[in-house]
Chains A and B, each alone.
Chain A
Amino acid sequence: MMKQLLLVMTLAFTFAIGHAAASAEFYEFETAEQERRFNQLAGELRCPKCQNQTIADSDAPLAQDMRQRVYEMVMAGESNQEIIEFMKVRYGDFVHYRPPVNRSTLILWLGPLLAFVIGIVVIVLNVRLRRHDDSELTPEEEARMRQVLANSDIDTNTDEENKEEHKQ
C-alpha cells in the first residue's frame, strides 16, 4: 500500500532505459470488446523492467513498447492466448502474472489443495479419535467432564442464548 519508492527505484537503476519524458500515447479501438481485451491483457502482463508492475500500471518506456505491441496484436485480431504466448517466448513465463501449470509449479497449484485436504482429514480423524477416547472414560471422569463443561457453559454463550439452547 505504500506505493512509495516507485519512482525513486526507477531512478536509482544503474542502467536506465529510454527517455525521461514519456511520450504521449493514446489507443483508438474499433470496438469496446477490443478495449476490454487490451485492458485485461495489459493488466496481466508484467513489465520486466519494473518493480512488480503490470504493463498497464507502469510508465516505463519498455512497458509502453509492450503496450504498443499488445495493442497492435489485439487490433490484428490475435487471441489473448497468442498474445500471451508471444510475450512468453520473449520474456519467459515471468512476463505473465498467471504462472503456467507444470511440474515445477505443482506446489503452487496443488499445495493449497493439499493443505485443505489435510485439514479436512485431520478434522474427521479428530472427531473419530475423540469418540474412541470417549469410550475409555470412566463414568466418574465423564461426570467430572460434564461438570467442567457445564461450568464453562455459563460463560459460553450469553445467558440468553444459553437458555434458548436449553429450551430447544
Chain B
Amino acid sequence: MIGELGHFALALAFAFSALLAFIPLIGVARGHGGQMALARPLTYGMFIFTLISFIALVWGFLANDFSIAYVANNSNTALPAIYRFTAVWGSHEGSFLLWMLVQASWAAALALFSNRLPLVFAARVLAVMGMIGVGFYLFMLLTSNPFERTIPLIPVDGRDLNPLLQDPGMIIHPPLLYMGYVGFSVAFAFAIAALLGGRLDSAWARWSRPWTIAAWVFLTLGIMVGSWWAYYELGWGGWWFWDPVENASFMPWLAGTALMHSLAVTEKRGTFKSWTVLLAIAAFSLSLLGTFLVRSGVLVSVHAFAADPTRGMFLLGFLGVVIAGSLLLYAIRAAKVQSHSRYDLFSREVLLLGNNVVLVTATVVVMIGTLLPLFFQQLGLGNISIGEPFFDEMFMWLTIPFAIILGLGPLTRWRRQGFSEIRNSLGLALLLAVVLGFALPWIFADVVHGLAALGLILALWVVFTTVAELRMRVASREHKLPALVKLGRSHWGMVLGHLGFAVMVIGIAMVQNYEVERTVRMGPGDTFEERGYVFSFEEMYEWQGPNFISDTATFRVTRTDGSRVGIIKSEKRFYTVTRQMQTQTGLQVNPFRDLYIALGEELEDGSWAVRIHIKPFVRWIWGGSILMAIGGIFSMTDKRYRLRRRLRDERKREHDAAEQEAKA
C-alpha cells in the first residue's frame, strides 16, 4: 500500500511539474500576474509529493518490504538500519528518486527566496525548473519505477546491498554529489530565464551567483567524499581513477568553477555576459551528460549502473531537447548582446578570462578523454583506452598556466594594471616559491623529484601572491588586523578558495612523487621496515558482523628508534548474503602522511600478502577541497547577497536598467 502511495505521489509530482512548466510562462506572455504567481505553490506541490514518494521508499527499506522489487534487490533483514536507509540510493531507481528529491528541493528553495526577484523573472526561472522536472519525472515513471512489486513471488529476504556501499562515506557522498549536479540546474534556469527575457545584465549575474556557488560547494564536497571513500574502501590506495563516471562528475565541476569566476566578472563589470550564460548552460548540460553516461551503459566503467537501452534512449532524447533547445535559444539571443566595457590586456578581466580558458581546456581534456574511446569504436578505428597516464600528463601541463594566472589575478586591478606597480610583490613571491619549492623536498626527502618541485613551486606561488594581495589591501591602514577582517566575506572566500587549491596541489605533487607501495608476505609475529617505520603483524582474529564475517589483522607500528606510532587494524570481510569479499583498509594518519594497510590474499602457510602504503601529504588533497568549499561558503554568504541590501540594490539596478533601455 505504501509503495503504491509512493508511486502515486511521484505521478502527482509529475503533474505539478508539468503545470509548472507552462502556466507561469502563459502568465508571462499574457502579463497575467496571478498565473505567474502560481509558480511558487506549484513548485511547493512538486517538492512535497516528491518528498512523500521518497519517504515511501525509505519506509519500504526500513520496514523490509521485500514485495517492492527494488528493496528486495538492494537490502536484507541483516543489513544494519543505517545502511537500509542509504540503500535507498544504492542502485539506479532509488538514486534517481534521490536525484529528483534534490531537484525538487532546489526548486522549492528557489521559490522560497524568489520573492526577492521580479515576478516575471521568478516565474520564468521556476518554469524552467518545472520543464527539467517534467523530463526527469517522466523518465522515472516510464523506465525506472522504484516501486515495482515482486507480487506474487515475494522473496523471503533481500539480496543485500553491495558491500562496497555499506560504508559511512556512502551515506553522504551521493546526496552531496547530487546537490551539486542538480544545483547547476538553478544556474541553468536563471540563464534560460534571462535569455527568454532578453535581459542579460549584472542583476542576473548577482541573483544567480550565490546559487551557483552553493551548487559548486556541494559538488566539490561530493567529489571529495567520493575520492576519500574510494581511497580507503577499495584498498588500492588510489584517490582518483579517471574512470568515466568520475570524469562525469569532474566535467561539471570544471565548468562550474569557470562559471563562478565568469559570473564574478559579469556581476562586477557587466561584461562577458554571453560567455557566462554559455558556461551556465554548459555546467548543467555536462551534469546531464554525466547522468546519461552513467545510466545508459554506453561507456565501460566499473561504476556504471546496469545498462538499459530504453533508459539510454530516453535520457538522450531528454538531453537533446534540453541542451539543443537551450543552445539554440542561446545562439539567437546571445548574438544580440552588446557589451561596452573596456579593458587592457593586463587586467583582472583578461586574467579571469584566461582562467576560464584553462578551465574550459581542462573540460575539453576530460571530455575528449572520456568520449573518444566511444567515438573510435563508432568510426571503426578500433579500441583505445584513455586513462591515468594521459590525464596526469595533460593536467600537469594545465596546472602551470592555471596557477600562474591564479597568482596574478587577485593582485591585478580591473580594466588596467601597470606591471611596475606589482613587480616587486610578484618578484618576491616568485623567488620565495622557487627557493622553497626546491628546498622543502631537499630538506625532507632523500631525492628531489622534478615534478614534486614543480608542484610545490606552483602551489607556493599561489600562496605567496595571495599573501601579497592581502598585504596590499591593508598596506595603507594603521590597524592591519581589523582591516583584514573588514575585507569582506567574498574576498575571504576568494582567498580561502585559492589557498585550498594550493593545498591540494601540494598534496597531489607530494603523494604522486613520494608515495611508497610495498606488497609483503607477513604472518603473525612478522615485522617489516620501510621509511623509518616498523610494521609488526601482531595477530589475526575472526569475528562475526551483522551480515559479514571478518578476518582482522592487527599491526603495531613503531619508529625505528622504538617510539610508538599506533595500532592499525586491517580487515578482510566476507559478506554472506552477496557472497563477496571486501577489504577494509587500516589507516594510521597524521597531517603529513597516511600509513595505509590493505590485506591481500591469504597465502598457503597462513601468512598474508599485505599491501603497505606510505602516502605523504595525501590528506592535503581532501583538506584543500574542504578549504575551497569553505571559501565558497564565505563567498555566498557575503553581505551583498543578503536580503535587505539586495532589495535596495536591485530596485536601483532595475531603475537603471529601465532607464538604459529607454535611452536605447
Q: Which residues of A line the B interface, CB within 8 A?
A: 1-9, 22, 24-28, 32, 35-36, 39, 43-44, 46, 50-54, 56-57, 92-99, 104-105, 107-108, 111-112, 115-116, 119-120, 123-124, 126-127, 130-131, 133-134, 137, 141, 144-145, 148-149, 151-153, 155-158, 160-161, 164-165, 167-168
Q: Which residues of A contact B230 (CB under 8 A)?
A: 1, 3
Known: A43-B388, A98-B389. Contact between A51 and B301, CB under 8 A? yes
- Nearest-neighbour CB distance to chain B for A13, whole angstroms, equals 12
Q: Which residues of B contact A124 (CB under 8 A)?
A: 345
Known: A155-B649, A161-B491. Contact between A7 and B580, CB under 8 A? yes
Contact of A137 among B244, B340, B356, B487 (CB under 8 A): B340
Q: State whether A127 touches B350 (Cβ < 8 A).
A: yes
- Nearest-neighbour CB distance to chain A for B426, whole angstroms, equals 16
Contact of A108 among B206, B368, B602 (CB under 8 A): B368
Check: B374 CB closer than 8 A to any chain A CB.
Answer: no
Q: What's the Cα separation between A107 and B384 when bound, in Å? A: 13
Q: State whether B383 touches A4 (Cβ < 8 A).
A: no
| Complex: chain A residue closest to B475, CB-CB | A164
- Nearest-neighbour CB distance to chain B for A55, whole angstroms, equals 12
Q: State whether B350 touches A161 (Cβ < 8 A).
A: no
Q: For residues 191 through 210 of chain B, which have their beta carbon under 8 Å from a beta carbon of chain A?
A: 202, 206
- Nearest-neighbour CB distance to chain A for B358, whole angstroms, equals 7
Which of B123-131, B501-509, B513-521 forms contacts with chain A? B513-521
- Nearest-neighbour CB distance to chain A for B599, whole angstroms, equals 12
Check: B390 CB closer than 8 A to any chain A CB.
Answer: yes
- Nearest-neighbour CB distance to chain B for A96, whole angstroms, equals 7
Known: A24-B602, A51-B301. Contact between A95 and B357, CB under 8 A? no
Q: State whether A115 touches B476 (Cβ < 8 A).
A: no
| Complex: chain B residue closest to A103, CB-CB | B381
- Nearest-neighbour CB distance to chain B for A14, whole angstroms, equals 14
Q: What's the Cα separation between A160 and B476 when bound, in Å? A: 12
- Nearest-neighbour CB distance to chain B for A153, whole angstroms, equals 8
Q: Which residues of B contact A28 (CB under 8 A)?
A: 521
Check: B455 CB closer than 8 A to any chain A CB.
Answer: no
Q: What's the Cα separation between A85 and B326 when bound, in Å? A: 46
Contact of B357 among A2, A116, A133 (CB under 8 A): A116
Q: State whether A119 touches B601 (Cβ < 8 A).
A: no
Contact of B305 among A5, A24, A144 (CB under 8 A): A5
Q: What's the Cα separation between A155 and B147 when bound, in Å? A: 50
Q: What's the Cα separation between A21 and B413 when bound, in Å? A: 65
Q: Which 9 A-B pairs have the closest CB atoms?
A: A97-B387, A1-B226, A119-B357, A158-B488, A98-B389, A156-B268, A94-B383, A24-B601, A115-B364
Q: Which residues of B contact A94 (CB under 8 A)?
A: 382-385
0/1 string, B173-194, CB within 8 A of A gives 1:
1100100000000000000000
Q: Which residues of A contact B206 (CB under 8 A)?
A: 155
Q: State whether B604 touches A52 (Cβ < 8 A).
A: no
Q: State whether B164 touches A115 (Cβ < 8 A).
A: no
Q: Which residues of A contact B356 (CB under 8 A)?
A: 119
Contact of A46 among B234, B387, B580 (CB under 8 A): B387
Q: For residues 582 through 635 of chain B, which have their beta carbon under 8 Å from a beta carbon of chain A?
A: 600-604, 609
Q: State whether A26 touches B361 (Cβ < 8 A).
A: no
Q: Which residues of B line the A interface, CB within 8 A?
A: 90-91, 162, 164-165, 170, 173-174, 177, 202, 206, 223, 226-227, 229-230, 233-234, 236, 238, 243-246, 249, 267-270, 299-306, 340-345, 350, 353-354, 356-358, 360-361, 364-365, 368-369, 372, 376, 381-390, 393-394, 398, 401, 413-414, 421, 473, 476, 483, 486-488, 490-491, 517-519, 521, 578, 580, 600-604, 609, 638, 640, 649, 652, 656, 660, 663
Known: A93-B384, A134-B342. Contact between A1 and B389, CB under 8 A? no
Q: State whether A158 touches B491 (Cβ < 8 A).
A: yes
| Complex: chain B residue closest to A151, CB-CB | B656
- Nearest-neighbour CB distance to chain A for B288, whole angstroms, equals 18
Q: Which residues of B contact A98 (CB under 8 A)?
A: 386-387, 389-390, 393
Q: Which residues of B contact A22 (CB under 8 A)?
A: 601
Known: A1-B230, A108-B372. Contact between A46 and B385, CB under 8 A? yes
Q: What's the Cα separation between A57 and B230 when bound, in Å? A: 12
Q: Which residues of A contact B384 (CB under 8 A)?
A: 93-94, 99, 105
Known: A94-B382, A123-B357. Contact between A131 and B236, CB under 8 A? no
- Nearest-neighbour CB distance to chain B for A116, whole angstroms, equals 4
- Nearest-neighbour CB distance to chain B for A83, whole angstroms, equals 14
Q: What's the Cα separation between A79 and B487 when bound, in Å? A: 57
Q: State whether B518 touches A158 (Cβ < 8 A).
A: no
| Complex: chain B residue closest to A119, CB-CB | B357
Known: A4-B90, A25-B609. Contact between A127 and B343, CB under 8 A? yes
Q: State whether A1 touches B245 (Cβ < 8 A).
A: yes
Known: A2-B245, A35-B518, A152-B268. Contact between A164 and B476, CB under 8 A? yes
Q: What's the Cα separation between A111 and B578 when bound, in Å? A: 44
Q: What's the Cα separation between A164 and B342 when bound, in Å? A: 21
Q: A2-B170, A119-B360 are in contact. List 19 more A-B contacts (CB 8 A).
A: A3-B302, A7-B580, A8-B162, A9-B302, A24-B603, A26-B601, A26-B609, A50-B302, A52-B385, A97-B387, A105-B372, A112-B368, A115-B357, A116-B401, A149-B269, A149-B270, A152-B268, A153-B268, A156-B269
Q: State whether A115 touches B302 (Cβ < 8 A).
A: no
Q: What's the Cα separation between A22 and B243 when bound, in Å? A: 25
Q: Which residues of A contact B387 (CB under 8 A)?
A: 44, 46, 54, 97-98
Contact of A152 among B238, B270, B390 (CB under 8 A): B270
Q: What's the Cα separation between A156 and B521 when bound, in Å? A: 62
Q: State whether B268 touches A155 (Cβ < 8 A).
A: yes
Q: What's the Cα separation between A44 and B600 when bound, in Å? A: 20
Q: State whether B473 touches A161 (Cβ < 8 A).
A: yes
- Nearest-neighbour CB distance to chain A for B249, whole angstroms, equals 7
| Complex: chain B residue closest to A124, CB-CB | B345
Q: What's the Cα separation between A15 and B491 when bound, in Å? A: 59
Q: Which residues of A contact B306 (CB under 8 A)?
A: 5, 8
Q: State whether A116 touches B173 (Cβ < 8 A).
A: no
Q: Which residues of A contact B638 (CB under 8 A)?
A: 158
